[in-house]
Chain A
Amino acid sequence: MSSGRSAPTTDEVARYAERAAAAGIETTRTPREEATAAIGAACRGETVATVLPFDVDLPAGATVDPTTAHLEAADTGVTAGTLAVAEYGTVVVTPTTRKEGSVSLLPERHVAVVRASDVVADMLAGFDRLGEAFAAGRNDAVLVTGPSATADMGELVEGVHGPAEMHVVIVGSEP
């Protein structure tokens, strides 16, 4: 948990879940002790993952630091979400050398793991946090608000260049 930042109220996490649902994102809330199991339950089929930058273990079946072949064969990609914005249901993926960029984008399903302390109320607070990350040199970020979609083929289709399904696991909050 970041220093000096108060934990979000249960309401904020609940609001996140509600707004995420409106954006087509499933959510699970889990206490820290059960986080690994909750992540596992959110995955489908072959799973690739990137190491989480906080103290939560990945499920045993997930292939960490995947090769191209793993990535291409994967049904699910697990990455951290470094920030979540309750008002929009947005989750932020921070691509690094650990391959969060491709793992979050290429498999059919993306599972993002977010700490409850990283859920902020609105975009204003979200951009404050982004500003801090940028100042610290992490100036590459993707704000994701739902599964990849297009209407260019005459009707809305989910799953174009990115995942068709998204699931956010919020760690450190009681369901």
Chain B
Amino acid sequence: MSSEESRAGKAARIRAILDAEGEAVAANARHLNDRRYEAIDELGAERYEELRETVRGIKEDAIDRLPELLATVEAAVEDNGGEVYVADDAADATDYIESVCAGLDAESVVKSKSMTTEEIGVNEALEEAGVAVHETDLGELVIQLADETPSHLIGPGFHKSREEIARLFNERFDPEEPLETADELTAFARDYLADRIDEADVGMTGANFVVAETGTIALVTNEGNARKVIESTNHHVAVTGIEKLLPTLESLRPFVELIGRTATGQSAAIYNTLVSGPVNSPPVPFGDPDAERTFHLVLIDNGRRAMREDPDLRETLYCIRCGACNNSCANFQSVGGHAFGGETYTGGIGTGWEAGVHDLESAGGMNDFCTGCSRCEPACPVKIDIPWLNTVVRDRVNRGADPGEFDFLVEGLVPDDEHGGIDRQKRFFGNFPTLPSRERSWSRCSASTPAVTCRHSAARRSSSGSRHAGPSHPGSRSGRPSSIPTPTRTT
């Protein structure tokens, strides 16, 4: 992006987004941050850290054992009467989903929110095949009606104010009485969607977690739409990434305790729905009690197996997509996801996802917004070093396709492995916590990170020394990103 767009052009584009979306984004992000701090306070800093350690360990282990877990889940889902399809890429996945819909003569599909289906473009593929697709998450419905893309991992319509939504609904549906309040808009959307759900042949959901051992998917929602979609259709297609696999039901427990807190600042999300194969609750409207029910679990690779082999990007696969890194980001709070860009994923961990499932260009554009301030890292329930991922991507973009091309020219001539990819300004901010304490007494780490302590500055202080004079980054390992085989932690 930066290579094709002039700096002035980019600045003008960001200003336009700021004007149009900045206010709604700022209000939503700050509200979610406040709620997150409260929900973590409620748990207590110690329990929170314990849970983070636990889920981090579970994810590291699960990604390590991914091939084994894939085999386990296939067998378990089949035992439960469902089917698993592992799709290599987006086209493979959408072809399969289209063929399932065609096999059922499906005319319409109702969906609950899923970023993975955005990633593979399932709505467009189905619509081209003549199947109507209706989003049932209200935020996702707004985005579908506005023909826009989600601007946040969990709040697709994060950038929209109530007034804008009311305008959109009134234009689109022309109700007898113009809709105005959030209550009116919600009631209208619920009734509109109830009819779509009744008519639908297929219910499509994502899956926040997949329990390999029992062949169970876990869906985390507040609206109740995922369950409603499943309750109301005979055929359920669940689409998610292969990285969502967890070994056992017990290993799901700490995620249930964390995801509501970091996503929306709730102790627990309102609906944690566990589904293992075709459900046996009669679909509404109640029809033939003996009608066949089917369950298809589509697990998508689309770059993920390669990310697993990539020592730097691998950590991205631990992400549970709670959006806390977006909300905590000082720049995201002002401009929102549309300014950050990215084909599907945006802001915070969006860099890692885009680099893995799309390409460096898509990841690199949003990378410019990362100042390396590291506010996101303590917000992440899985302890992902997101600033480091930004550094890695920045480095790869800057070095281009052949990172080592000119290294031979300077080999042996420099005292340290100078980090060619990071400019001085970014390095300065990246090393900010290493400055003498008087200079940084107003630092974010000393005052403005509620509920969590910034382990970067602590680690830095205790280990400050010459290695930080070289290429570095808060929370990072020194040296060139791609030369570090496995991520190591400072604490």
Residues of B within 8 A of A144 (CB): 270-271
Docked Cα-Cα span, A148 to B179, in Å, equals 21
A residues neighboring B (CB under 8 Å) = 19, 22-23, 67-68, 71, 88-90, 95-97, 99-102, 105-106, 123-124, 126-127, 130-131, 134, 139-157, 159-162
- Indicate if the CB atoms of A100 and B281 lie closer than 8 Å: yes
In the complex, which residues 135-151 of chain B have their Cβ closer than 8 Å to any Cβ of chain A? 136-139, 142
B284 CB–A CB distance under 8 Å: yes
Chain B CB within 10 Å — which of A102, A141, A146, A156 has the most? A102
Residues of B within 8 A of A90 (CB): 268
B267 CB–A CB distance under 8 Å: yes
Docked Cα-Cα span, A92 to B97, in Å, equals 31
Residues of B within 8 A of A134 (CB): 214, 216, 249, 276
Given contacts A102-B284, A140-B276, contact A150 B222 (CB under 8 A): yes
B272 CB–A CB distance under 8 Å: yes
- Indicate if the CB atoms of B270 and A131 lie closer than 8 Å: no
- Indicate if the CB atoms of A102 and B189 lie closer than 8 Å: no
Docked Cα-Cα span, A54 to B80, in Å, equals 26
Residue in B269, B270, B286 whose beta carbon sits within 8 Å of that of A68 in the complex? B286
Residues of A within 8 A of B222 (CB): 148-150, 160
Contact segment of B252-260, B385-393, B415-423, B477-485: B252-260
Residue interface mask B134-174, A partner, CB < 8 A = 1: 00111100100000000000010100111101000000000
- Indicate if the CB atoms of A146 and B270 lie closer than 8 Å: yes
Docked Cα-Cα span, A105 to B223, in Å, equals 10
Contact segment of B9-17, B180-188, B307-315, B333-341: B180-188
Docked Cα-Cα span, A19 to B137, in Å, equals 27
Residues of A within 8 A of B282 (CB): 97, 99, 102
Residue interface mask B242-279, A partner, CB < 8 A = 1: 00000001101100110010000011111111111101
Given A101-B231, A134-B276, A145-B270, 16 more A-B residue pairs with CB atoms under 8 Å apart are: A22-B267, A23-B268, A97-B281, A105-B228, A123-B257, A139-B80, A142-B274, A145-B267, A147-B270, A148-B223, A152-B155, A153-B189, A154-B185, A160-B186, A160-B223, A161-B193
Docked Cα-Cα span, A71 to B163, in Å, equals 34
- Indicate if the CB atoms of A153 and B227 lie closer than 8 Å: no
B280 CB–A CB distance under 8 Å: yes
Docked Cα-Cα span, A145 to B256, in Å, equals 11
B224 CB–A CB distance under 8 Å: yes
The 5 A-B residue pairs with the shortest CB-CB distance in the complex, in nearest-first order: A154-B162, A162-B224, A101-B281, A152-B139, A139-B276
Chain B interface residue count, Cβ-Cβ cutoff 8 angstroms: 59
- Indicate if the CB atoms of A139 and B250 lie closer than 8 Å: no
Residues of A within 8 A of B253 (CB): 123-124, 126-127
B130 CB–A CB distance under 8 Å: no
- Indicate if the CB atoms of A152 and B142 lie closer than 8 Å: yes
B396 CB–A CB distance under 8 Å: no
Closest to A142 in B: B273
Closest to B228 in A: A161
B399 CB–A CB distance under 8 Å: no
- Indicate if the CB atoms of B268 and A143 lie closer than 8 Å: yes
B326 CB–A CB distance under 8 Å: no
Closest to A87 in B: B267
Docked Cα-Cα span, A162 to B186, in Å, equals 12
A-B contact pairs, 22 of them (CB 8 A): A19-B267, A22-B267, A99-B282, A102-B231, A123-B253, A130-B274, A134-B249, A139-B214, A139-B215, A139-B274, A139-B276, A140-B274, A140-B275, A140-B276, A145-B269, A146-B270, A149-B223, A150-B138, A152-B139, A152-B186, A160-B138, A162-B228
Chain B CB within 10 Å — which of A68, A88, A154 has the most? A154
Closest to A100 in B: B281
- Indicate if the CB atoms of A153 and B214 lie closer than 8 Å: no
- Indicate if the CB atoms of B281 and A96 lie closer than 8 Å: yes
- Indicate if the CB atoms of B186 and A153 lie closer than 8 Å: yes
Residue in B142, B185, B231 whose beta carbon sits within 8 Å of that of A95 in the complex? B231
B225 CB–A CB distance under 8 Å: yes
Residues of B within 8 A of A148 (CB): 222-224, 270-271
Closest to B27 in A: A154
Residue in A99, A126, A127, A161 whose beta carbon sits within 8 Å of that of B223 in the complex? A161
Residues of A within 8 A of B44 (CB): none
